[in-house]
Amino acid sequence: MKKASILLVDDDEIYLYLTERLIDGISDNLTVKSFTDGEQALNYIGECIKEQVEMPGVILLDVNMPFLDGWGFLKEFRKLKGKITDKVHIYLVTSSERERDKERAKEFEELTGYVVKPVSEDKLVEILTAVYESHW
Amino acid sequence: MWKKYFNNFLLLYIPLLLISLLMLIGQRRERIADFVAKEALVSMQKTTFLSDVCHYLIHNINYWSGIVYPVGFETNEGHADFIHPYIEVIKNIGFYDQFRIIDLSGEERLRYQSNFGRKMELSSLQNKVDSDYVLRGLNLKKGEVYLSRINLNRENNEIERPFKPVLRAVAPIYDSLDTKVGLVVINFRVKDILDYLTKFPQYGKTYLVDSELNVVASSMGGDLPPYEVRDNTEALQNLSDVGVVGIQNRRDTTFYENGSVWSYSNVRMNNGYLIQSGLYSKPDRIVNETQWAIVRELPANQIQMGLWPLYQNFIVLQLISILTLAGISYGYVKYQTQKKDLYGQLKEKNKALLHNQKSLKTINELVRRTNRRLNIRNEQLEQFSYLISHNLRSPVTSMSLIVDIIKKEKDPENVKSLLPKLHKLSDSISCLTEDIKEYIAVVDQKEPHLQEVNIYALLQGMKNEFPEIMSGKENFEIVYELEEWKTITSSRYCLQSIFHNLISNAIRFRRPDVASYLIFRSGFENGRKVLFVEDNGLGIDMDRYGEDVFKLYKRFHRSISGKGMGLFLVKTQLEAINATISIKSIVGKGSIFQINF
């Protein structure tokens, strides 16, 4: 069985480090990739399409980032959707519980969920279970 | 108000009064002319009546003079048998007062006298040789008749009492030889006739006068004829007092004088109804002792009575007019006053309304501006809270997570490896704190001090802040196109900070392969000042970053370091001085910032 692939997009390097650590601790069956802004993540998605590499099953996407933020990423991702065959579950991750962000999130059908930082182990397990149905 | 009212009333009433006065005068004149015409007619009728009466009497005397008397009739012996049957006829004729036959010597040969108007009786003879009427009668030719004055009967040269006004008619008589044998003299009683002639004084007075204007009969009543009874001058008093020339001239006339209508009409023997009758044979000549005339006087009081309805109508009309016009004037003045008041009130209200509108406009403008500022403030506050909640929360939660891990970690080596992470977190927190401080410094500015700022001078003075420009080595130039305007009322401090950021960005994000420039160009948009800041730098991908250009911690050029705060602070500072900023940009060509003041 192939490994479940998770993509982390966040400009907070400590968050990336900690979350990677968490995922490593959960299962050996999970691979993690991370980028510090939306633009880089988008470039990676573009690469995947181009190289016909399998897409990450879960993307934990931060809202506030330099260059291209979470919303910008979602907009650009929407443009590429036609070329993506795999199901990609995108979770918007933010440290604020701003109503405005929650409302805006509803406009994107590409989003699977909305997660408020800190992302705990339980939360991660819940997400992975929902996506992979324990096949990880 | 009252003066105006009175003036209005007079304005309406005076023309009406003048017209009605003219009408009154006209009507009065017409009415008096009516009186005059009527009086002339009445006088005429009365003279006609008197003429008819005279002819009737002449007709009577003609009967007697027409008889052919026997020769020797004048003697006492002869006449009795002849005359007796005739006398039988006259015995009961009421209007004969006396019937006499007088011979040529003036002696009465036959005398019948009325017994107080009831019956003719023989009476004793008198000598009448001195009587005027006998003398005048003796001169008469055949067919001629003499009419005396109307006067009181005298017996034996004494006025008979009670007074008896009589008119004597005399005619000569002839025998069968056509010899004049004497005179027939009849005294006619004329009191009834005169009464009839002068009755109804309430419809004007009537006088019968003779040639000398002696009043023979008058409507004043009393004994007849007055001129004989009273002093002649006194009798004439009421006529001569008038002093009317028309009457003195004794010509037919009717006129209005001194408030009375006077009419004078001569009694002419050639008019009347009898004279035109075929049954009546006119005498050859009528010898009148006097010329009678009818004088009519319609006195002033009777004329006034006749005119009274006119005056009455006039007064009633005036009263109605005064009441109506007073009402109209009052209504009009009231209407005008109310209109004026209303107009004044309206003007006042309008003024107040205009004033209110003006202040409302000012208030509205104030509200609008305050609202805008409040909105901006809200936006800024939200930004601030977001900054705190998001950017501060992240490192803090991370820190607590690391602390948790350290607590659980048994291996000191692993713990040690986590320490740099903690250090990094504390660095980022202090960095964030600095940014917040800077942002608060901008947002929390007191009301900026406004002054006249010359853009050109300001920019020139800032040049030395940028060594890249001063050195001249970097191939970077600032161009000024400030023809439209050079100075603006604004905060010098804010403008300086804004320009610093913009110039700094232009230098940092220039294209190294071209000669770079930054143009400051002034202009107007919708009457407001606009400043364009144009560069030929790297440009920003507007499709991708359009919404984020002025947001915090946004960076668009990976190769060039930066915090992503510059344009965010530019926008915040512009908001503090009520200005807005927008951008047009093309990647690889450059950007144009537009600042609307």
The CATH code of the domain that includes B549 is 3.30.565.10
pLDDT in tens, B298-311: 988 889 998 999 99
- A35: domain range? 4-132
Same domain for B270 and B285, yes or no, is yes
Q: Which residues of B touch A97 (CB under 8 A)?
A: 389
pLDDT in tens, B395-415: 888 888 888 888 888 888 888
Is residue B432 in a domain?
A: no
Distance from CA of B572 to the nearest CA of A (A): 19
* Distance from C-alpha of B301 to C-alpha of B303, rounded to nearest angstrom: 5
- Give the pLDDT mean for B93-98: 84
pLDDT at B236: 46
Structure tokens at A32: 């993690």
Per-residue pLDDT at B221 exceeds 70: no
Q: Which residues of B touch A17 (CB under 8 A)?
A: 421
Same domain for B194 and B284, yes or no, is yes
Answer with the one of B281, B298, B315 that is the final residue of a domain: B298
Single-letter code of the amino acid located at B254 = T
Per-residue pLDDT at B278 exceeds 90: no
Is residue B504 in a domain?
A: yes
pLDDT at B385: 80
φ, ψ dihedrals at B132, nearest 5°: -55, -45
Question: B interface mutation test: which of A37, A63, A96, A98 has the most B CBs within 10 A?
Answer: A96
- B67: domain range? 1-298
Answer with the one of B412, B428, B458 that is the final residue of a domain: B412
The CATH code of the domain that includes B63 is 3.30.450.20
* Distance from C-alpha of A85 to C-alpha of A88, rounded to nearest angstrom: 9
Q: Is B261 left (phi over 0), alpha (psi -120 to 50) or beta?
A: beta
pLDDT in tens, B1-27: 788 888 888 998 999 999 999 999 999
pLDDT in tens, A67-76: 888 998 999 9
- Give the pLDDT mean for B198-205: 84
Same domain for B405 and B525, yes or no, is no
Is B558 at the interface with chain A, CB within 8 A? yes
Please state the domain count of chain B.
3
pLDDT in tens, B124-161: 888 888 888 999 999 999 989 999 999 888 877 788 87
Q: Which of B527, B536, B472, B469 is nearest to B500 (CA)?
A: B469
Same domain for B291 and B317, yes or no, is no
Structure tokens at B316: 């009633």
Per-residue pLDDT at B240 exceeds 70: no
Is residue B437 in a domain?
A: no
Q: With residue B266 as reference, give the H or E element that holds it.
A: strand B260-266
Same domain for B179 and B278, yes or no, is yes
Alpha carbons within 13 angstroms on the beta-carbon side of residue B182 total 26
- How does strand A58-62 pair with strand A4-9? parallel
User: B1 has which bridge partners?
Assistant: none
Mean pLDDT, all residues of chain A: 86
Structure tokens at A12: 């907070």
Q: Which residues of A touch B544 (CB under 8 A)?
A: 68, 72, 76
Please state the domain count of chain A.
1
Structure tokens at B529: 């000042």
Single-letter code of the amino acid located at B216 = V
Per-residue pLDDT at B590 exceeds 90: yes
Q: Give the best-scoring range by mean pLDDT among B264-278, B283-297, B403-417.
A: B283-297
Q: Which of B511, B415, B506 is nearest to B459 (CA)?
A: B506
Q: Which of B4, B1, B8, B3 is nearest to B326 (CA)?
A: B8
Is B383 at the interface with chain A, CB within 8 A? no
pLDDT at B39: 93
The band of B117, judged by pLDDT with boundaries at 50, 70 and 90, is low
The band of B233, judged by pLDDT with boundaries at 50, 70 and 90, is very low
pLDDT in tens, B419-431: 888 888 888 888 8
The CATH code of the domain that includes A72 is 3.40.50.2300
Is residue B571 in a domain?
A: yes
Is residue B485 in a domain?
A: yes
Same domain for B240 and B226, yes or no, is yes
Q: How many CB atoms lie within 10 A of CB B555?
A: 20
Single-letter code of the amino acid located at B396 = V
Question: A interface mutation test: which of B384, B397, B553, B560 has the most A CBs within 10 A?
Answer: B397
Q: Give the best-scoring range by mean pLDDT among A125-134, B254-263, B480-489, B563-572.
A: B480-489
Is residue B418 in a domain?
A: no
ipTM exceeds 0.90, yes or no: no
